Amino acid sequence: MSELKPQDEKFRTKEDICTHLGDEYAKFMGAIVPPIFQNSLFVKPTPKNGIPDTGFVYTRVSNPTIDIAERKIAALEGAEAAACFSSGMGAISAAIMHFIKKDCHVIAPHTIYGPTRTFLSEYLADKFGVTCTFVHGSDPEDFRKAIRPETTLIYLESPSSLVLYMQDLKAIADIAKEHGIGTVIDNSYATPLHQNPISYGIDLVCHTASKYMGGHSDIVAGVVAGSAEMIEQICKNERELYGACMDPHQAWLLIRGLRSLPVRLRAHGESGLKVAKWLETHPCVDRVFYPGLDSYPQKELADRYLSGTNGLISFVYKGTAAQAREFVYSLKLFQFGVSWGGFESLIVMPTVGMTDEEAAPFDVPANLIRIHIGLENVDSLIADLDQAFEASKKITE
Ligand SMILES: *Cc1c(COP(=O)(O)O)cnc(C)c1O
């Protein structure tokens, strides 16, 4: 756990935080890149050994390389402190556990990330008697109506990573505060560059750093940001006891990813918008979900909360499930795989082959396809999508 130090105040813009916060040339022998402290323990000072007391003891608790990643992310989120974890789910489950009591009640939108949904509605239900109410969530009153005396947490994900639905963070944070309920958000889609939920009153902000923050599909990592007090408790309890701490090498790769996050996101956003606009005009496409489009159903929320968009786009394929599958399998530049946020373009088809009724509990339309627009040439990507649509039309089943 690390808090912002006074010397960090010179980093006024997010680009400067991403590139340089944590660089300490005098401390690290002039190295332009801070080294990896790839060690498990730090020997302790004694009256005789002359070793200075740096406060570092053991890497599950804290480590100078992880500390740099945490200071960068806390500064980007406008948070007092941040704590890194070995995965996004490590961070999310720790933030949730902070607010969980035996037999408590949690409210969340239907569209949250699958494993988070399973954690809330199955794991915590079975082990601790936690109940969870899933709501649509586009109206803040959905949350107010679901509140019970035993509600301790409202969990959000905005935009959600499958259909990119949003929630009104300020209105929901106000409702939660009125009732003394904690709030946690998965802010992975927006990244700390495009949305800072703490400024609207949300308590804890979680990210998977395996996606845009790492950016190169070479790490699995996560982070929670919030008040110094809450982060300190999470580190002492959930992180030290469950032990899902980050590894120093993972932290070093995350710091490297953060340096180029602003330029990468700009590229993903520009290409994403171009592809989303092109998809909207294509006869094989029924509807497109992309917060940067004028047709985005929650445009007002997108304008209010997001200072940019990225490369995630969802759309409903217009045709049969067999045609939708043929489209996906015919792509050459896009790889068929989960995850997103790396340099590469990807595609998944979460509800292809489902009926509307089967997809309804997740608030996702049937025949939904999600693509991630990577850093390849955008016109090559459009040409690839186009040839795959043509191939899909030939399927007559
Ligand atoms: C991938 C993902 C996670 C989980 O992160 P891991 O690092 O894989 O544990 C959480 N939330 C969202 C929105 C994700 O896409």
- Which string of DSSP letters, residue by residue, matches 272-334? HHHHHHHHHT-TTEEEEE-TTSTT-TTHHHHHHH-S---SEEEEEESS-HHHHHHHHHH-SSS
Q: How far is CA 122 from CA 27, 35, 129, 147, 257, in A?
A: 48, 42, 10, 20, 34
User: Residue 226 pLDDT more than 70?
Assistant: yes
User: Residue 195 pLDDT more than 60?
Assistant: yes
Lowest pLDDT segment from 113-117, 234-238, 316-320, 361-365: 361-365
Is residue 88 within 8 Å of residue 209, measured between CB atoms?
yes
From atom 5 of ligand 1, which residue's Cα is the shortest distance away?
Answer: 88
Average pLDDT of the segment spanning 186-200: 98
Residue 9 banded pLDDT, cuts 50, 70, 90: low
pLDDT the model gives residue 178:
98
**Per residue in 348-383, pLDDT tens?**
999 999 988 888 877 788 999 999 999 999 999 999
Nearest atom of ligand 1 to the alpha carbon of 112: 13
* Ligand 1 centre distance from Cα of residue 188 (Å): 7
* Ligand 1 centre distance from Cα of residue 392 (Å): 31
Calculate the average pLDDT of the chain: 95
SS3 sequence of 146-202: HCCCCEEEEEEECCCCCCCCCCCHHHHHHHHHHCCCEEEEECCCCHHHHCCHHHHCC
**Per residue in 210-223, pLDDT tens?**
999 999 999 999 99
* Ligand 1 centre distance from Cα of residue 114 (Å): 9
Q: In the block, which residue shows the tokens 């998965």?
A: 186
Is residue 65 within 8 Å of residue 252, measured between CB atoms?
yes
CA pair distance 353, 361, nearest whole angstrom:
15
* Ligand 1 centre distance from Cα of residue 48 (Å): 47
- Report residues whose beta carbon is within 6 angstroms of any ligand 1 atom: 87-89, 113, 161, 186, 188, 208, 210-211, 220, 222
CA pair distance 215, 328, nearest whole angstrom:
23
**Per residue in 14-33, pLDDT tens?**
999 999 999 999 999 999 99
Out of 158, 166, 210, 218, give the residue to mutate to test ligand 1, the one with the largest number of ligand atoms within 8 Å of its CB.
Answer: 210
pLDDT the model gives residue 361:
78
* Of residues 360 and 270, more confidently modeled: 270
Residue 5 banded pLDDT, cuts 50, 70, 90: low
**Per residue in 48-104, pLDDT tens?**
999 999 999 999 999 999 999 999 999 999 999 999 999 999 999 999 999 999 999
Q: How far is CA 201 from CA 167, 172, 204, 396, in A?
A: 14, 9, 9, 53
Residue 218: CB atoms within 10 A of its CB come to: 13
Q: 329-355 as b/e, with b when 16 or more CB fall inside 10 Å?
A: ebbebbeeeeebbbebbbbbbbbbebe
* Ligand 1 centre distance from Cα of residue 340 (Å): 9
Helix/strand/coil for 370: strand
Beta bridge partners of 336: 347
Is residue 188 within 8 Å of residue 261, measured between CB atoms?
no
Residue 161: CB atoms within 10 A of its CB come to: 23
From atom 4 of ligand 1, which residue's Cα is the shortest distance away?
Answer: 88
Nearest atom of ligand 1 to the alpha carbon of 211: 1
* Ligand 1 centre distance from Cα of residue 68 (Å): 22
